[in-house]
Every structure is written in structure tokens, then in C-alpha cells.
Chains A and B, each alone.
Chain A
Amino acid sequence: MQWTMVTVIGSDRPGIVARVSACLFEHGCHLGEASMMRLGGNFTIMLMVGHDGDAGEVEAMLVPITEELGLRLHVDAIDGHLHDHVVPNVRVTVFGADRAGIVAQVTGRLAEAGLNILDLESDVGGSVEAPIYVMHIEGLAAGSIERLREALADLDEAGIDTRVESIETLIG
């Protein structure tokens, strides 16, 4: 079985996941890990699709549905693996009055301090006049938590609040 990464984006409406997944199931595909989110009112999904054929065949299965629903489709062959999770040991929460550059400043410092980001999601709240940017990051820190905190400490003065917490995963 070969894994492909299927990306579908476009105007959201109810039933897209059901249509896409039913089509893939009827064509004998397996699904691996997937992430669907609504971003700015858009439907977005990325999913690992396992199939015996090549990426072109997977694309051909889905084109009738994505065209009917007015969605954009992208399919790549990938070198994917299941049963290979990396467990994060750090959670970083960031928030502040929205302005350009927050993500670049925060993630640049975190990368220098040895953080490998495993999961990132961000949102804009507040009002049109006073938007608030909120970001959650989970990652694997190569060094200490203190090093990450120090790396972000000066952002306080720039109006960006940050919180770095360790994630202790209980195995029982």
C-alpha cells in the first residue's frame, strides 16, 4: 500500500467529509491520520490515504466530487508512516493584540532555543477594530523549558504574552 496526502480546500458546507471519505472507501482506500479545520470560513482537510495504485488514481477518484462541490484538490505521493508518534513535552501558549510578525518572532526564537514544533494552531479573536491573536504550540524541546522561557522573555515588552509549560505524559 502506498500513502498519498490528499488536500481538499474550499467553501465550507455540511457533508464534505462524508462524501470524500465514502468515495475513498468505495474505491478500496484506507485512511491514516487526518486533520480537518475550518479556517476563515473555508473547509480544509489534509488526510493520509492508503491505496495500491499511484497518486494519479487517487486524484481521479475524487475529482468528480470536488468539482461538484466546488472544492480544490491536491494529491501528493508521500513517504508516510503510522505508529510513529512523537510525544510532545512542551506546550507554548501565545496571545496578544494582533499585528504582523507575531508567529515569525515567536517561532524563530523557539527554533533557536531547540524546539521542534509538532502541532500548531492559531486563531484571531476580539473585534474587527481590536483583533486578538492566540496561538497554541505543542512540541519537543531538545533543551530545558527554562531555555524556551528565556528565549521568549523579551516579547513581553512587545505586547506578546507567552506561557511555556511542560507536558508530562502519564503512562499507566
Chain B
Amino acid sequence: MARLEILTYPDPRLKQESHPVEAIDDALRAFIVDLEETMRAGPGGVGIAAPQVGRLERVVIVDVPPRKKSSSHGRQVLINPEITAWDGMAIGREGCMSVPDYTGNVIRAERIGLSALDEHGASHEFEMHGFEARAVQHELDHLDGFLFLDRLVSRRNDLFRRKVYQAPPK
């Protein structure tokens, strides 16, 4: 086990699109162990994406503890994840291990449908909402080369309520 170095903005690797994982094998699982250790070493981190440690593969770990108003699925390894549906919008505050000492407001979907493989290659479908849905969207953005900085909205924008129904991208 090893704690990996977190890349920080403006490292150009954070702007790159990650490749789909082709083989879910012991080497990948060993990397996932290190990635999780790295996530847990940071204060308050609820997610991490492989490109944050310079490995440009579509692998994400999230672990959002259940909270009063919002259930969650706990620790999940998400390989080649795809958002299949989304609904609603909410403003929330985000920070990132790759962007130290800065937090800002970002608009995310309130609910998402998600499909992904786990570290043993099994396929899973999830419905997520609230903080967990936000965490997954934040991490999946890393796989496409986006940081929350790319999605900042003014701190003076208050929450606006608007429902959006959109078909998943084909």
C-alpha cells in the first residue's frame, strides 16, 4: 500500500480526458487500494478520481457517509462509470484535493442514474441523490478533464429552483 501524490491545478494532466479501463485485473486492484488510501489520507475527502494521481483511466472511488436527509451507497469503486439519467439542479459548495484552499459554488444535478463496473468486473446500476450525486458528478468530471473551477458560479447566485428533464446522451 502506498499513498499517491495528488496532482494540483494547473498540472496539465488534470485537463486531459481519461481512457476507459480495458482489463480489471490484480494490477488495477492494487492501484485502487492505493487510490483509496490516498483519498482517506485527505481531510474530509469523500471521493477521488484516478487522474488526480496522474493515472488517466476511468476509475473513481466515492464514499459518502449516510446523513440525516440523504441516503447513500457508502464506499463504491466505479470503473468506466456512465451517468444514464439526471434530474433537477442544486447549488452546493465544493472543494477539491487538487485545488487546495479554495471552495466555491457549483450547480449539479440533484438526482442521477449511474452505471459502472466494480473492481471485480461486476456491473451495477445506482440511483443517487443529494450529496452523493454531487460527489459522483464531481469525480466523473475529473475523468473528462474538468475541475469544479470550470463550473464555478458566483457566490452571489442564490439557489434557483428549476427542474430539468433531459435524455441521457447516446
Contact = CB atoms under 8 A, between A and B. Distances in A.
Contact of B45 (A83, A167, A171): A171
Size bracket, chain A contacts: 10 to 19
Contact of A169 (B48, B95, B101): B95
Contacts of A83: 100-101
A136 interface: yes
Contacts of A119: 155
B92 A172 contact: no
Nearest to A170: B94
Contact of B103 (A85, A93, A121): A85
Contacts of A84: 101
A134 to B, nearest CB: 10
Interface residues of B, number: 27
Interface in B29-77: 42-49, 62
B158 interface: yes
Contact of A172 (B101, B138, B155): B138
A129 interface: no
Interface in A24-45: none
A87 interface: yes
B162 interface: no
Interface string A136-149: 10100000000000
Nearest to B102: A85
A168 B131 contact: yes
A50 to B, nearest CB: 17
Nearest to A169: B93
Given A121-B156, A136-B158, A169 B135 contact: no
A171 B44 CA distance: 6
B96 A172 contact: yes
Nearest to B60: A172
Nearest to A165: B159
A170 B46 contact: yes
A169 B103 contact: yes
Contacts of A87: 93, 95, 103
B74 to A, nearest CB: 16
A170 B93 CA distance: 6
Interface in A75-126: 83-85, 87, 93, 119, 121
A144 B110 CA distance: 25
Interface string B89-128: 0001111110011110000000000000000000000000
Contacts of B135: 170, 172
Given A138-B155, A172-B95, 11 more contacts: A85-B103, A121-B156, A136-B156, A169-B94, A169-B103, A170-B46, A170-B92, A170-B134, A171-B96, A172-B47, A172-B138
13 contacts: A83-B101, A85-B102, A87-B93, A87-B103, A167-B93, A168-B92, A169-B44, A170-B46, A170-B92, A170-B95, A172-B94, A172-B97, A172-B138
Interface of A: 83-85, 87, 93, 119, 121, 136, 138, 167-172
